[in-house]
Amino acid sequence: LLLCHTGVIPTDYGFLLAVAVFLGVMGVWLILTAIFPGLRRRKYKPFIDYVPAGGTGTGPCPNTCSPVSGNQSTVFSDANYVCADNPFTQGKYSTVFGDVNIDLRPSQIADGAVLDISCVFGDVHVLVPQGCRVRLEGSHVFGDVKAGQFPTDDSLPLFTIRHSAVFGDVTVM
């Protein structure tokens, strides 16, 4: 369309060019989803098997993290992280073509704690412990940000989640 506006391509062909580019992008997307079925959007998979008191769960063994070395990333794979650090002060998680589940329920959230999330063609699910305020900051392109109900009492610690999602969803519960 920019080439039509500058006169490089006659205006009569601008619409046809836009349709051809759209169909080409959709064709590439269909081929990629046929080769990599993980690119298709999946439903939320909660941590229903996690038992915080040291019991046994039936799900996959989760990874653990610490507030200092909480920089985790995945590419073309899914990951489950359970953070039991007291206090949780910061963490950074990113995924490309994969899903990440972050369970912070066993942690004590420090006032001013920050969680940075980045996802491209993937989903990130965060489970926040009770007893903290949650502030969401960030942007999303062709995706959604879903959040549960959190308390607004100023005496509770503030937990900031910074997110960036492209073709993916961020869910905070």
pLDDT 10s digits, 63-88: 555 443 467 888 888 888 888 878 88
Residue 135 pLDDT: 92
DSSP 61: P
Q: In 10 A of CB 71, how many CB atoms?
A: 12
Q: pTM for the whole thing?
A: 0.62
Give the pLDDT band (50/70/90) at residue 47: very low
Query: In which residue are the tokens 């169909």 written?
Result: 23
Residue 159 pLDDT: 92
- Per the rule left: phi > 0, alpha: psi between -120 and 50, beta: everything else, 152 is alpha
Task: Look at residue 140 and tell me whether its pLDDT is greater than 80.
Answer: yes
d(CA 147, CA 54): 28
Task: Look at residue 46 and tell me whether its pLDDT is greater than 50.
Answer: no
More confidently predicted of 31 and 171: 171
Residue 57 pLDDT: 40
128 backbone dihedrals φ, ψ, rounded to 5°: -100, 140
pLDDT 10s digits, 144-173: 888 888 888 888 999 999 998 888 888 898
